[in-house]
Chain A
């Protein structure tokens, strides 16, 4: 971007917002908005602590396990739905319903069933991520060139071969898009799960900070989470672009 003939670097707007924040913070208008520099200092203070590290570890563990389960369930289910009309008719209404449902409302139910631990958080993560992965894998399989399906049939692939050697690969661009969107939802799931359970991980930290009005800590923690969510989405986006030539060369 160019402004008055001077080239402006990409992240310049962030710096501008940080300055505004700093000024507003220094005016001490609200306890909710401490100066930006204080938050940054607090960030470096809490990140190296053992409490933060254990919370981060639990979150990472729940995120990885939850997303992994969502992928392992979502892809085969989506591929099956894309290939079988009967299965599709059976599952599609449920998938669409869960995709748009306010899943947060289900977390208390999960808590009564699975307790106040990581199990509930992992399940919440799965519930948030799995549906979009299913729908994208299904769309990918439905988009496979008909002749590629006929090729698979004419060389007499059995069900397993067709699934693992052709369909999953042919649908890979959509499947990867689904995994990226699923992972973004996973981040929401893992945080919402922790906030509602609120006795483990970042949920406990948020509970601790907010009940003690430690706004600098709270913001520092939020920055860390936003940063990681952004990193995950961007990282998967890069991976997805690597496979983009697939989609272009399919037709």
Chain B
């Protein structure tokens, strides 16, 4: 495999950096070359967060080139739209439907667009899109903060990744502190089963 590109996008606090670290760690476990690019510091404070994971022998640059994402993992609908320039008709999008309204909307007395409108926009780029209620599944697993692991579990179930589901689970086990591990594995499985049960074709 020469290169496989994943863009993760959402809002500070949604656990995007941790999700990308799971993907990176799983890649290392399989002996693959990988780059995980993150944003820290000021840019994180409630702002838009984006992380890139690039896997493969030809990978040097830490960032994904426009139009070249294999997967866009959208943690928030508007942030998914904000990162559509990385997609093409070949890109698979897994999107969490959890809206986090940007304060600009309240200030300018505008409303958050409907999910239908958002999906319509996304479909102009790619038809391959699956919507997931990651926050609900995370709450069921025990804590909304596990939404990132729900997303990774769901992504594993698509079987699009160049890393095995088992490696991703192992990465979760390695990175999550003991006391939160059960909750996170539950979150992983609920995301995984969500996609498997729906027999999502991608």
Question: Does B associate with A?
Answer: no
Chain B residues within 8 Å of A, Cβ to Cβ? none
Chain A residues within 8 Å of B, Cβ to Cβ? none
